[in-house]
Amino acid sequence: MPLTTGQIFLSEFFGTAILILFGAGVCAAVTLPRSKAKASGWIVIAFGWGLAVFMGVYAAYATGGHLNPAVTVGLAVAGKDLAPGVSATAVNVVVYIVAQMLGGIVGAVGAWLAYKRHFDAEAPAADKLGCFSTTPGIRSYGWNVVTEAIGTFALITWVLINGKSPSQLGPLAVALVIVAIGLSLGGPTGYAINPARDLGPHRPRPPADQGQGLLRLDLRLGPRRRAPARRGRGGPARPPHGRALLSGRAGTAESTDTVGMTGPSSTAHPHSPAPSPGDAPQSATTRKDSS
């Protein structure tokens, strides 16, 4: 019997959530500090993503296991059914894509929860962000687009051709294709080749005065960028509200963000007042008289 809209949504939602949970999880395992799998290397990431695709496609097998808006759009443009008994109508395409994007967000949150203490540990912000979105090794927007287009074209072409192959081999074959793309074409950009993998888990970059987190679902999760110091009237730089970490030089401090802060405060720090230009230094006689 034909699948209902709700069944289509749940199938792609859970399949994509599983994909991102295990895919982002292997990235976190390899890159985050004090992980047992830290520095395992690119081959582990490529095969980890391949296995994540394998599990996700099997979980969403009823709807074809797209898990990728590019696959859904590619099948629709080619005039093919999205899955057995699921025609490529505009409504079905939208349901597929919305389910995939939301599933990507939920899967990313699951990976973040699994590695919460490791995300809290000291590590380069780029490594933490890289668990949820891809970044190029060499930033060149034009050539980065070319690389992603080639990888996505290879995936979609294989999916279109694979429509006539035995269905039992489908999930395993797709997983091996993902591994091959990762090993061969993933070096320059990290081979997102999937908007649900990159745009779903990745939150937009906030304004500079609001810090930088890893996920934002109306609340901020993960580490934030340290707020800049403020200058008093003619005095040294003051840290914003929060704990101050003394640096190597006496009298200087580096600020760390506190829970609930999204940027520098407009009030002076109570423990580090800066002298006003109009305040004249007291002489020794004045200090003696006052004592």
**Under 8 Å CB-to-CB from 239, ≥6 apart: which residues?**
229, 230, 253, 254, 255, 269, 272
pLDDT tens string 177-194: 999 999 999 999 999 898
Cα-based distances in Å from 245 to 184, 237, 240, 252 = 45, 14, 12, 9
- Mean pLDDT value of segment 259-285: 42
Of 72-76, 173-177, 197-201, the poorest mean pLDDT is in: 197-201
Q: Is the pLDDT of residue 137 over 60?
A: yes
Please give the mean pLDDT across all residues of the chain.
76
| Other residues' Cβ atoms within 10 Å of the Cβ of residue 186 | 22
pLDDT band at 200 (very low <50, low <70, confident <90, very high): low
Identify whether the C-beta of residue 257 lies closer than 8 Å to the C-beta of residue 206: no
Structure confidence at residue 164 as a pLDDT band (50, 70, 90): low
Q: Which of 49-53, 89-93, 126-130, 237-241 has the lowest mean pLDDT?
A: 237-241
- Check whether 245 has a pLDDT greater than 90: no
- pLDDT tens-digit readout, 4-61: 999 999 999 999 999 999 999 999 999 998 999 998 999 999 999 999 999 999 999 9
Q: Inform me whether the pLDDT recorded for 233 exceeds 50.
A: no
**HEC states along the chain?**
CCCCHHHHHHHHHHHHHHHHHHHHHHHHHHHCCCCCCCCCCHHHHHHHHHHHHHHHHHHCHHHCCCCCHHHHHHHHHCCCCCECCECCCHHHHHHHHHHHHHHHHHHHHHHHHHCHHHHHCCCCHHHHHHCCCCCCCCCCHHHHHHHHHHHHHHHHHHHHHHHHCCHHHHHHHHHHHHHHHHHHHCCCCCCCCCHHHHCCCCCCCCCHHHCCCCEECCCEECCCCCCCCEECCCCCEECCCCCEEECCCCCCEEECCCCCCCCCCCCCCCCCCCCCCCCCCCCHHHHHHHC
What is the set of domains in the chain, with CATH numbers? 5-198 (1.20.1080.10), 226-255 (no CATH)
Whether 154 shows a pLDDT value over 90: the answer reads yes
Q: Confidence band (pLDDT; 50, 70, 90) for 162?
A: confident
Answer for the pair 130, 137: CB distance below 8 angstroms, yes or no.
no
pLDDT digits (tens, 9 = 90+) for 99-128: 999 999 999 999 999 999 998 888 888 888
Query: Best-predicted range by mean pLDDT among 93-102, 201-210, 258-267?
Result: 93-102
Residue predicted with more confidence, 271 or 8: 8
